[in-house]
Structure 1
């Protein structure tokens, strides 16, 4: 480490990657941005300029031999995660890997094993566990205020038109992976148990123009089942809803209920003769979870500096990927699957 601070390298300079990088630039004690990697040289160079650093690469393997870099933030396409994470672990670099962790649970196991073998930290980017509202809800659940938990319902719906590669389920693993990975991890965490059964149904309602070329593609999904401890769960996801970014959770207990998340993008409401009553809607996950992204970046630095376990581990990432696999199997086979 340079002057006791962790040298961070961003691998993948897209929107989510730059959120992390700008946090590490000047908001995370004990860490600093050392380099950035992107396969598009112009993107790598532009990111380095924004971060006010001089070092950038187009090949992540250059990072493996760079002694200034102590840790990497991996925000590349999911199908590249496994090789990048394993190579960085073998080079002794600590790893923050965005979700989904990998393409399948077997890849996740290989990544977990590499991190353990090389004694490096592996944190997965499920930021809801770092969000103040979700943390408070978890504390309330554990306190017993709402009684025994009966049902956890979670949804994530995004406004953006899917990018072309997302239509191929073999490449994207579908909405369950791209959007509902967060919900799967969240309900596991709040329930304090593993999922026992999965039943999922899905359909393509907003992107019918690709139905002939990609008959398996779905933009809306509902997944339900039961945890090992008896708690019921329900997850729904949707892409290209267009009205805004919508992420909410409801926890129903025997004595009470908890609602987490908000739809409104502001604390004001407008009433006018022409439009009636209206309020602005949240249009991006970047707005809703801005503070949670910073908290998880701070947590990553602290687990390295204090040699503690990350709040979201490789095992958590693997379990979310596993449930995505089983959910897609349930959709294809039209049946309940018991784990």
Structure 2
């Protein structure tokens, strides 16, 4: 049994991960810590477990095997490093950290202390992504030229009595979040496109503060990949009814995914639009992969390269927007960075 401590209810997905932990037969939630004691005590009462006010006592507790980190993103580095040094396995919400350098320091510490780290990048486990990857790997699209991926919602559209919409107000705190729509919701288009297109060469981005928040609520990033493909990544908190869209264009075909609707046209098949009769079986969720890695030392399908690549695009996008220029990824990377 993996005895888990929940570290903060700050993130909107914290309850989801608590539910996954509760439902997994290999996991037992033992206690809660939160940087906001009042919020943490309420959560602990709901879950029927103790609340601890001192993080160090949680991480030093020999009965705690692992932690689920849903703290403000600006606290990820210090907390995850400390957890790893105390020999705790770590599951955390994306992004891992604000810079590639900080991510590399975290992974070095994780490896040095022989613990399992998983960052939640759930769409890499979904059947539509696996289908898209199969299509690309089989060469059915020919040379991949463009990927467009859009994920947006209306979380920042003002509601009566709440100017920030249905998202929690702290999601607009630049210090805690490190950004807005791109670093949060835009993470999914980033890591999906990175996986499909390969290593990024340069980034140009615009991060708009349409509603006057301290962080972006509408953003677009244009990625140039070493493969020659372009990635057009769109996200935002101001789009009502916007579907998830993943579009792949190549010299021999096109693949269009809109929510659950999938169709493809390839000159290597019959040249007509086709709808797949079946999709690959989805992989285990990031959480379940983390548990299986701890229990059985099973390999995970979400890699260090995926996590570093996500932070790389965010870091380069921030520089691009602030300085109004195209940013080459080599400005950020060093020779040992583990991005494929």
Q: TM-score w.r.t. structure 1 length? A: 0.79
Separation in 1, partners of 2:298, 2:39: 34
Aligned residue number for residue 222 of structure 2: 224
Indicate the residue corresponding to 1:107 in structure 2. 102
Rounded Cα–Cα distance in structure 2 between residues aligned with 1:81 and 1:94: 14
Cα deviation 1:172-219 (Å, max 9, x = unaligned): 23432122122211111122x1110111123333x04x5xxx5xx432
SS in 2 for 1:196: strand
The yes-or-no answer on 1:303 pairing with 2:293 is yes
Equivalent position to 1:235, from 229, 233, 236: 233
Corresponding residue pairs, total: 298
Mapped to 1, the partners of 2:242 and 2:54 lie a distance apart of 33
What are the equivalent positions in structure 2 for 1:90-101 lying under 5 Å apart? Answer: 90-101=85-96
SS of equivalent to 1:178: coil
Residue 254 of structure 2 corresponds to residue 253 of structure 1: no
- Encode CA deviations 1:115-142: one digit per residue, 9 max, x unaligned: 0110111111111112222223222322
Alpha-carbon distance in structure 1 between the residues aligned to 2:241 and 2:66: 34
Aligned with 2:206: secondary structure? strand
Task: Report what 1:176 is aligned to.
Answer: 182
Q: Match for 2:199 among 191, 194, 218?
A: 194
* 2: CA distance, partners of 1:233 / 1:131: 20
Deviations 1:206-247 (A, max 9, x none): x04x5xxx5xx4322211132112221110111233x14643
Residue 124 of structure 2 aligns with which residue?
Answer: 129
**Hey, what does 1:154 align to over in structure 2?**
149
Q: Write out per-residue CA displacement over residues 258-301 of structure 1, whole angstroms, 9 at most, x where no aligned residue.
A: 2334289xxxxxxxxxxxxxxxxxxxxxxxxxxx8982211110
Q: For residues 281-323 of structure 1, what are the alpha-carbon distances to aligned partners after superposition, in whole Å with 9 as ceiling and x for unaligned?
A: xxxxxxxxxxx89822111101112223432234422221121
Question: Residue 43 of structure 1 is aligned with which of 27, 39, 45?
Answer: 39
Task: Tell me the SS of whatever aligns to 1:18.
Answer: helix
Unaligned stretches of 5+ residues in structure 2: 157-163, 262-281, 330-340
Q: Is the 8 A contact 1:222 1:236 kept in 2?
A: yes
Residues 51-62 of structure 1 aligned to structure 2 (within 5 Å): 51=47, 53-62=48-57
From the two aligned structures, give the one with the greater helix fraction: 1
**Contact 2:59 2:83 (C-alpha < 8 Å) held by counterparts:** yes
2:17 aligns with 20
RMSD over aligned Cα atoms: 2.6
Question: Is 1:333–2:333 an aligned residue pair?
Answer: no
Structure 1 alignment gaps of length 5 or more:
265-291
CA contact (8 A) 2:119 2:286 kept: no
Structure 1 76/298 Cα, relative in aligned 2: closer, same or farther at 3 Å? same
In 2, the alpha carbon distance for the partners of 1:294 and 1:18 equals: 19
Q: For CA contacts below 8 A with separation 6 or more, give which structure has more relative contact order.
A: 1
Contact 2:64 2:88 in 1 (8 A): yes
